[in-house]
Structure 1
Amino acid sequence: MRGTEPMADPAPADDYDQALLRFVEQFALVLADSGLARMPARVFAYVLADDAERYTAAQLADGLRVSPAAISGAVRTLVQAGLLAREREPGSRADNYRIYDDDVWSHIIMQREPLLRRYSEVLSDGIGTLGDAPGSRRLAETLAYIDFMRAELPGIMKRWRERLAELREERSEVE
């Protein structure tokens, strides 16, 4: 703060940038609470919400107001997780990053299917080992839920793709 001087009103672009960064921080907290490290969460939230389709590490650092060093580890994590794709234009020295899949949330959910399968396998083994104990009954209900979700997932994804196509068609009509 500069003493008692009144601050100038920010330009509309500054308002948008501040709103974007507030959203990024809020959504990054949710992602971090879900297990994603904080800086990768911030980068992912920024790439998801900002207008550009592709970003260099320098653009991400500038947009998030962080050092380029903070970006390099974050994008590496996001690329390894399949959330960002890394590309390079012929003749360019800079990598570009973009959301990995045009339907990123379906991609994220479908990445969890092998984990659900593993849950089922371990739960089945546990039920077989524990027999008819009360804990085993809880395991059986958990297994039934996991198996139900796995069975429903293809139908959910099909319905989502249909809904997404409708949303995109509606958006193209407005534009």
Structure 2
Amino acid sequence: TPPPAARDARPAPGEAGGRDPEAVRAYEETLTEVFLTSGLPRMAARVQAALALTDSGGLTAAELVDRLGISPASVSKAVAFMEAQGLVRRLTEGRRERYVIDNGVWYESIIASIRSNDLIVATAREGVRVLGAGTPAAIRLENTARFLDFLSDALRRAAEEARDVLYVGLEEEAGAREQG
């Protein structure tokens, strides 16, 4: 079970209207668990879920502290981790920072993952040179490099092809606002 602060987390300002707060809270716990299962550390998973469930897609550190009942240091550490993974962006608003997830962060996260794979590929190929081609360890490293290189290329192509899917519905929403 989540700590009391998580159970008592408040919705983001202006977002409670018409929503069942208990259902939203339960869903936030479910989403956090999914993010944990995917490999995010607990605090990053909680921050990711909180950001995902705000209509604006963004909250300040103070809002995250209040909403999740966590310390500013916990927010800072979670956001730093999430930035490295391409899961959040910082927007400066005067003297405050707003942490934002938008449709583009999923694309950026995939690209960050590809860059990590590319680093493993390069390092594995360096190991082949160091260990000597044809040795069992070098063969294993070269196979790893080829496998990850293939996946990175395929994932990069797929991400580029699918990128527009992230924005489906946003054009219609923008058009409706302009007409309304």
TM-score, structure 1 length as denominator? 0.68
SS in 2 for 1:87: strand
* Match 1:154 to one of 153, 156, 160: 156
Structure 1 gaps, min length 5: 1-11
Number of corresponding residues: 159
Q: Quick one: which amino acid aligns to residue 36 of structure 2?
A: A
How far apart are the structure 1 equivalents of 2:144 and 2:132?
A: 14
Q: Quick one: which amino acid aligns to residue 24 of structure 1?
A: E
SS in 2 for 1:40: helix
* Match 1:27 to one of 26, 31, 53: 31
C-alpha change, 1:45 and 1:164, in structure 2 (3 Å) is same
How far apart are the structure 2 equivalents of 1:76 and 1:114?
A: 18
SS in 2 for 1:112: helix
Matched, 1:61 2:62: no
Partner of 1:75: 79
CA shift, 1:77, in A, is 4.0
C-alpha change, 1:137 and 1:107, in structure 2 (3 Å) is same
C-alpha change, 1:146 and 1:82, in structure 2 (3 Å) is closer
TM-score, structure 2 length as denominator? 0.66
- Residue range with higher mean Cα deviation, 15-24 or 44-53: 15-24
The C-alpha deviation readout for 1:33-61, integer Å capped at 9, x for no partner, is: 44432112101111012223332233223
* Match 1:45 to one of 46, 49, 57: 49
C-alpha change, 1:56 and 1:126, in structure 2 (3 Å) is closer
Maintained 8 Å contact 2:83/2:89: yes
Root-mean-square deviation (Å): 3.3
Structure 2 gaps, min length 5: 1-15
The C-alpha deviation readout for 1:96-141, integer Å capped at 9, x for no partner, is: 2222x53111100101222211221232234442543555544443
Structure with more contact order per residue of length (Cα contacts < 8 Å, sep ≥ 6): 2
Q: Tell which structure's C-alpha radius of gyration is larger.
A: 1
How far apart are the structure 2 equivalents of 1:132 and 1:80?
A: 36
